[in-house]
């Protein structure tokens, strides 16, 4: 037998001869690597799933102008402050978002007041296509406006006895504005008391071309999170403030981080237990093969030859455990994702390297103690059974 072929021959024969311990080690390595794979895939899928679910709650950042305020009074006599409406330029907002490098969907809003039959009603100019994307939770009776159509809040519609199809003549600003009620919106919030019309139409009517009262942004909360995205955008906007519109996004991030930390701790505990099991099994194997090791040394085998044999066995078991662990872990992750999220787990081929690395690490780390004992083993004492 040549020098190149003796090592694989001995390794495979040794593993086949001790089928029980080989299968036990393979099962332990498979369990550990499959758990790491399954939890990794589920954790990754959870992040993407939470991000998709969070988008259903609409915009998570809002940009508002710094209102001009004047203190009234002097000395000890102060009567409060007077605030004037302030506006933002659409071009400035688009340029700031572009320079920040933040990927975001957005909608511009212009607030105003118009008169309907001598009664002032609050209105808001919007781009209906963008609002429809950013506010999927709006409940709408009728349809989305087209042409000179408008949406009216459910509370305002009830107070003014308006219904879908009614014609409105609104005074204020530049002339009279004629609109048609195409839909009635209900959100349970401030939107129920507003009249929504086309942004460009309201800008022309109020003689505010290219100006808005605020901008709502829907950004991906990954990476630095909402707070980091707001901090990156704030220095690029003079005369404006960037605020978190709601706490849902941050709460989701914190909950996801805690769940992922729990998964990491569970994985760490299982890996430590698996490492202990591998070390104990490999140690028992070395003790059983004491006479065999002593005979190999007596026949001229060096300590390094023995280390090569045991290291090759550990590597072979590690590779086999990593492959089987990745396959089992992918199946487990798919089952968990479908049971919890009712959707399949996203394929993640790169987790094969994670499973392989975990299995190899456990196999080699668990074999370290037995390998050292093999290195120090005295062949004379081994042959005598001591």
pLDDT tens, 353-383? 888 888 888 887 777 766 666 656 555 555 4
Instruction: Kindly report the pTM of this predicted structure.
Output: 0.57
Q: Alpha-carbon distance 153 to 159, whole Å? A: 10
Residue ending a domain, among 215, 245, 275, is 245
85 lies in the same domain as 15: no
Give the model's pLDDT for residue 331.
87
Is pLDDT of 205 > 80? Answer: yes
Tell me the average pLDDT across 41-52: 69
Instruction: Note whether 260 and 344 are same-domain residues.
Output: yes
**pLDDT tops 90 at residue 196:** yes
Q: Do 292 and 352 belong together in one domain? A: yes
**H or E element, residue 335:** helix 303-341
Model confidence at 197, pLDDT cuts 50, 70, 90, reads very high
Q: Which two tokens stand for residue 141?
A: 């009776």
Residue 183: partners with Cβ closer than 8 Å, 6 or more residues away? 140, 141, 142, 143, 144, 145, 149, 151, 152, 164
| Tokens describing residue 338 | 């479908």
Stretch among 116-120, 237-241, 299-303 having the lowest mean pLDDT: 299-303
Residue 339: inside a domain: yes
- 141 and 214 share one domain: yes
When pLDDT is averaged across residues 159-169 and rounded to a whole number, the result is: 90
What does the pLDDT average to over 278-298? 66
Report the C-alpha dihedral over residues 275, 276, 277, 278, rounded to 10 degrees: 50
Same domain, 148 and 197: yes
Helices (H) and strands (E) in the chain, counts: 12, 14
Give the per-residue pLDDT at 338.
79
Q: Is residue 1 part of a domain?
A: no
Q: Distance between CA atoms of 118 and 220, rounded to whole angstroms?
A: 44
Whether the per-residue pLDDT at 70 is higher than 50: the answer is: no
| Pair 275, 318: CB distance under 8 Å | no
What's the pLDDT score for residue 123? Answer: 92
**What does pLDDT average to over the chain?**
77
Specify the residue for token string 């994702």: 337
In a domain, 281, yes or no: yes
Residue 56 Cα distances to 53, 132, 244, angstroms = 6, 11, 16
For position 108, what pLDDT does the model report? 93
What per-residue confidence (pLDDT) applies to 72?
Answer: 43
Domain limits for position 326:
6-53+253-383
Is residue 178 pLDDT above 80, yes or no? yes
Residue where a domain terminates, one of 226, 245, 264: 245
| Percent of the chain residues past pLDDT 90, beyond the cut | 12
- pLDDT value of position 222: 61
Is residue 317, in this structure, part of any structural domain at all?
yes
pLDDT at 235 over 50: yes
Q: The tokens of 206 are what?
A: 């109020």
Domain co-membership, 114 together with 236: yes
How confident is residue 274, by pLDDT bands cut at 50, 70 and 90?
confident
Residue 276 tokens, joined: 């202990």
Between the CA of residue 78 and those of 67, 69, 75, 84, 169, what are the distances in Å?
19, 14, 7, 18, 42
When pLDDT is averaged across residues 209-218 and rounded to a whole number, the result is 89
Residue 128 domain flag: yes
> Is the residue at 126 inside a domain?
yes
Q: Considering only residues 130 and 56, tell me which one the structure prediction assigns the higher pLDDT.
A: 130
Q: Are residues 177 and 138 in the same domain?
A: yes
Q: What is the pLDDT of residue 76?
A: 46
Q: What pLDDT does 56 receive?
A: 64
pLDDT for residue 185 is more than 60: yes
pLDDT higher than threshold 50 for residue 195: yes
Task: Give the model's pLDDT for residue 85.
Answer: 63
| Whether 102 and 226 share a structural domain | yes
Higher confidence at residue 78 or residue 169?
A: 169
pLDDT at 109 > cutoff 90: yes
Where is average pLDDT lowest: 9-18, 69-78, 134-143, 206-215?
Answer: 69-78
Domain count, the chain: 2
Could you tell me if residue 44 is inside a domain?
A: yes
Q: Are residues 31 and 129 in the same domain?
A: no
Give 121-157 pLDDT, tens digit per residue: 999 999 998 888 888 888 899 999 987 889 999 999 9
């Amino acid at each position: 037998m040549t020098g190149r072929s003796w090592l694989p021959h001995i390794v495979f024969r040794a593993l086949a001869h001790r089928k029980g311990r080989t299968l036990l080690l393979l099962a332990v390595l498979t369990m550990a690597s499959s758990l790491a794979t399954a939890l990794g895939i589920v954790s990754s899928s959870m992040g993407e799933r939470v991000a998709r679910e969070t988008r259903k709650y609409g915009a998570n950042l809002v940009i508002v102008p710094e209102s001009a305020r004047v203190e009234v009074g002097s000395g000890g006599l102060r009567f409060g402050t007077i605030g004037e409406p302030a506006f933002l330029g659409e071009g400035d907002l688009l340029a700031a978002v572009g320079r920040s490098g933040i990927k975001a969907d957005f909608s511009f809003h212009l607030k105003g007041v118009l008169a309907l039959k001598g009664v002032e009603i609050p209105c808001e100019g919007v781009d209906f296509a963008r609002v429809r994307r950013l506010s999927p939770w709006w409940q709408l009776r009728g349809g989305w406006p087209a042409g000179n159509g408008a949406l009216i809040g459910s509370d305002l519609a009830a107070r003014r006895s308006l219904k879908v199809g009614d014609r409105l003549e609104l005074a204020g600003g530049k002339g009279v504005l004629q609109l048609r009620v195409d839909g009635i919106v209900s959100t349970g919030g401030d939107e129920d008391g507003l009249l929504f019309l086309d942004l460009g139409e309201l800008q022309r009517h109020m003689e505010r071309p290219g100006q808005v009262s605020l901008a709502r942004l829907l950004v991906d909360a990954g990476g630095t999170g909402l707070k980091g995205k707001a901090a990156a955008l704030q220095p690029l906007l003079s005369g404006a403030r960037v605020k978190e519109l709601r706490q849902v996004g941050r709460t989701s991030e914190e909950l996801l981080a805690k769940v992922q930390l729990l998964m990491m701790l569970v994985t760490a505990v299982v890996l430590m237990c698996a490492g202990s099991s591998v070390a104990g099994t490999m140690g028992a194997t070395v003790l059983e093969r004491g006479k065999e090791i002593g005979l190999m040394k007596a026949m001229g085998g060096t300590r390094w030859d023995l280390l090569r044999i045991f290291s090759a066995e550990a590597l072979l078991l590690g590779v086999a455990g990593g492959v089987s662990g990745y396959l089992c872990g992918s199946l487990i992750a798919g089952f968990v994702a479908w049971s919890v999220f009712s959707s399949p787990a996203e394929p993640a081929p790169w987790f094969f390297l994670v499973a392989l690395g975990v299995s190899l690490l456990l196999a080699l780390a668990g074999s370290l103690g037995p390998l050292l004992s093999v290195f120090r083993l005295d062949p004379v004492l081994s042959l005598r059974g001591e």
